[in-house]
Structure 1
């Protein structure tokens, strides 16, 4: 049995057998190849990923549609009375799509896809930058593991093309982390990335900069002295202050009053009081994110959760130990998980900014697991080449299993819940009022409706506050950004003025699940079965989640491996045959 002093020799021998790229701390795979691979997956997600959150549609796609076309749905958050949504954020996305919206008869659903593709491109570049930084600052192996973990994951597939501030923040947090890993660190550039993520995207993500900023301050203070470090920091905050000034300026111009939207978001969500705040929209148990991340990242989520334990063991066992930078890299994921697990109101999208941090933690865990195998091999007098083979095989096996599970989940979700987007076709001559009852929260946005159609709501069993409509205008500057709409509130109290009588509906979007006829009350009849008044325009199958076993709805498995137990319903656009009598 070799002594403690012999362990570094075994580790050095094993490292000799690694690639030359690792020893030189250069990325194993060229940057452009990695970027191409990430963006290819991003294109697929832009085309096929579902829209699981109505907040994305009503708070971002609809205001963007309003800026581009002069009509759209408006939530209370955009009322100047509350002003907790940024017109700068929406306006930048609207500018990107402006050239296409000016083209006559250009299919709006294509603009939807174009914007999603651009968002996927930004995420792809940020991931490639972080891959490059991890490879050069930590190790090429960790950089490669990061990409092999993040690219096939079901969580990243969903988050990549999503039009939400949390997804936008995810991209710029990733840029910021990558900047902190570079040598020398450009603190000004790093803080600018995080300020864009926080002020323009989601203010809570500024918490993710704390560990890296403290490490930089420690290192810079030791190298320059405390006074020079403070001076350096002060000189570096000008770009973030410019971002802040632009955010306040543009949003204040849009609302026609002085507003600081990020502060309003924090005040509402944290200090809203017992009568208002995010808890009005539902609460979840403390373990919600553990379960959700386990579904979206499976094995690698477990590796991320265990990374702090692995680092403790590594610091005592591995001869190379754990550097301060490696330890600090683990902290943002735990910090974010703890903060949001303590909040009663939980949603999957709240985890998006921490997805890259999760992938970093998992990559470092797996790298250390391989180190454990080399350590055990050296103690058992196993040849370094053989130990390296078994360590690499173990990690590769876990990655393959994880990728297969993630791919299975992505396929399952896409097949099961794509009907709300697929029922709209460019060859449909839809016009007038397109109404939504119990399916109001699955409306994919006005980008899927022709110019002559308007989304409307009919009364259903839902008793919360639905969006209203922006004041339509043909003026270049939309008055709806500053006009205070009527009958809005921040208490989620129902407003009956938001409803359209059903006899004014030209089309109706509805779903039907066999066997639930007795559950259909007077407010939610099965319109699809009412063939006397409604005819089918387009229908697609839609998963009946209530009747489908958990495994069958969570994962897709080939019929040769697993008996298909999915139960399907119908999701349709209906056209009125005749007016109902009043």
Structure 2
């Protein structure tokens, strides 16, 4: 396996590979040492940030709700929504990934009782814990190979990045792949190649099959540079036995037939002729803007990191082994950019697996800037004191600007888009208030959504099993999910009125006259199918929360929160929980009148 590189202190072999100024501080450190947080301190910092994300981040993607939280809610309680991806006719999602979250949910339910909102948030806390542990291993590997200066900067960027705040506690395969990619590269940098292979395999098989591409640099190192052919084949076979075989068994149990879900999703996305483009396409600028919003100036440094490091290598001497680790560690980011940036269908979550590489790449760039400045101001020599001591102000100023902008972005997103979570939490107060909720305890209750269907956080926010989310018709013309068939074999039943072409199914809708409560957002551009429900005498306002009206807000001040200025330049609509006042006309009767 080779020498394992430890954080405090490095092994003799790894210490020989890095310049003296890069070595990690040991006991009895001298004035030339560079301070960097210990593993324990790094974990405490990261865990604090990830718990904040678990509690305060929004559910920003309807796929997270309907493709992951809802199947999990069904396996946990016997009730939830099913998308076409989970129909046995298509079966492009694996229940093995869902089960990894359902098992902790059941344990949490034993401890927390029937409070499903607490189960939801505690599950997110566990996801934050998994992310923090993965980040610590990644940080340890970066420190071991690239030195404490790069490691410390990587930690700062991971800790404060708005992108990591949103991705860390998300119930998404792309977040799962982000965790395991960090584990893989942390293990690989520390010399644990077998763990690296296992982590990449788990990421691709259980999580997201396309994320296996991020393991290409590790495979190249093991097979072509180290020439450990038998080792690589052995651990690939072990990975298939450990991950693929149980996953096929799980899916056979839930779908009722033998299939390989990762293969199905690859066939659909690559060979179906239309793939995910049915759900919208975006220009290249989508990822350029989105990356800046989530990582601001770190993102810009990361994109240009490889050419910059190659250029500065003419000035800064490096050990040959460190050159290898540099380009192999940056390769996953560029491989992923080449794949994802060229696809017409683009989504923010698709970049999650390479978020840690943005942090590491930018840290390498800043570290090299410090080295170059040190060489230029020391007459061409790197050996007169540590290169980071005299110009530490530069990465410090950069880190402060980055952290302030990241926190500004986090606050802007929370203030602008947290309203749906607040509104659905209110349902639990409503059900306990007899002056508001006058229906019998066991009577079915319909909570309806129209145009706001995609902001439903999940059935974990509904007060009880007799509460049902229902869809009323809006201007949306795509395919909506439908409830699983009741019973233990609901996952095996091929649902009716389902398709993989995103064609609208009118059977999803109920008439608004059957709604007891309705969640809606006021807009100026109302239509017959999307009226201003809050202004209708048929509805009583229970609660309203401000929600960002992006179309009427300044582009800069809606993206980044600036005290005093954002309030002036942003406009907010009303996000409402409404209660039906009594018998009313159906939507068809209203249109006739």
| Counterpart selection for 1:528 from 508, 511, 534 | 534
Query: 1:161-199 CA distances to partner (integer Å, 9 max, x unpaired)?
Result: 00000001110111011111113x3x3221111111111
| Counterparts of 2:53 and 2:255, CA distance in 1 | 34
Per-residue CA shift, 1:20-53, capped at 9, x if unaligned?
7699999821111110110100010000001111
Q: Structure 1: how far apart are the matches of 2:87 and 2:176?
A: 23
Displacement, 1:89? 0.8
Q: 1:504 aligns to what?
A: 514
Write out aligned runs for 1:2-41 (5 A). Answer: 28-41=36-49
CA displacement, residues 374-423 of structure 1 (integer Å, 9 cap, x when unaligned): 12212389995697445211111111101100000000100110000011
Q: How does 1:350-369 map to 2 (within 5 A)?
A: 350-369=350-369
- Contact 1:188–1:237 (CA under 8 A) maintained in structure 2: no
In structure 2, the partner of 1:160 is 168
89 and 382 in structure 1: CA distance in 2 versus 1, 3 angstrom threshold = closer
CA shift at 1:215, angstroms? 1.5
1:472 aligns with 2:486: yes
Q: Which runs of 5+ in 1 are unaligned?
A: 1-10, 222-228
- Matched with 1:48 is 56
Name the Cα RMSD after superposition: 2.4
1:225 aligns to what? none
Q: Which residue of 2 aligns with 1:239?
A: 238
Q: Which residue of 2 aligns with 1:438?
A: 451
Deviation at residue 263 of structure 1 after TM alignment:
0.5
State the partner residue of 1:256.
256
Separation of aligned partners in 1, 2:291 and 2:554: 20
Q: 1:326 aligns to what?
A: 326
| Cα separation, partners in 2 of 1:233 and 1:23, compared to 1, 3 Å | farther
Deviation at 1:316, TM superposition (A): 1.0
Do the aligned partners of 2:222 and 2:232 also contact (CA within 8 Å) in 1?
no
Mean Cα deviation higher: 233-242 or 264-273: 233-242
1:335 partner SS: helix
Q: 1:387 to 1:79 in 2, by over 3 A?
A: closer
Structure 1, residues 256-311: CA drift from partner, whole Å, max 9, x if none?
1011000011111111114xx20000001123212211111011111101111211
Instruction: Give the secondary-structure state (helix, strand or coil) at the position aligned to 1:572.
Output: strand
1:224 equivalent in structure 2: none
Of residues 213, 222, 247, the one that matches 1:216 is: 222
Alignment of 1:117-516 (within 5 A): 117-183=125-191, 185=192, 187-221=193-227, 229-242=228-241, 243-274=243-274, 277-320=275-318, 323-379=323-379, 388-423=388-423, 424-425=425-426, 426-429=428-431, 432-451=445-464, 452-473=466-487, 478-513=488-523, 516=524
Structure 2: distance between partners of 1:389 and 1:372: 13
Are the structure 2 counterparts of residues 92 and 23 from structure 1 closer, same or farther at C-alpha, using a change threshold of 3 Å?
A: farther
1:3 alignment partner in structure 2: none
Secondary structure in 2 matching 1:313: helix
Alpha-carbon separation, structure 1, partners of 2:34 and 2:189: 14
Are the equivalent residues in 2 in contact too, given 1:464–1:492 (CA < 8 A)? yes
Aligned residues: 551
Give the C-alpha shift of residue 238 in structure 1.
3.2
**1:8 maps to what in 2?**
none
The residue that corresponds to 2:590 in the other structure is none
1:18/1:251 CA distance change after superposition, 3 Å = closer
User: Residue 557 of structure 1 is aligned with which of 548, 562, 574?
Assistant: 562
CA contact (8 A) 1:318 1:375 kept: yes
Aligned match of 2:5: none
2 CA distance for matches of 1:22 and 1:98?
52
* C-alpha contact (below 8 Å) 1:255/1:482 kept by paired residues: yes
Distance change in 2, residues 1:387/1:166 (3 Å): closer
Change (3 A) 1:21 1:110: farther
SS at match of 1:84: coil
- CA deviation map 1:446-465 (0-9, x unaligned): 11111121111000000000
Residue in 2 that maps onto 1:576: 580
1:94 aligns with 2:105: no
User: 1:16: how far off?
Assistant: 10
Does the 8 Å CA contact 1:548/1:567 hold for their aligned counterparts? yes
Tell me, which stretches of 5 or more residues in structure 2 are unaligned? Answer: 1-17, 432-436, 438-443, 587-593
Matched, 1:548 2:553: yes
Report the CA distance shift for 1:13/1:434 in structure 2 as closer, same or farther (over 3 A).
Answer: closer
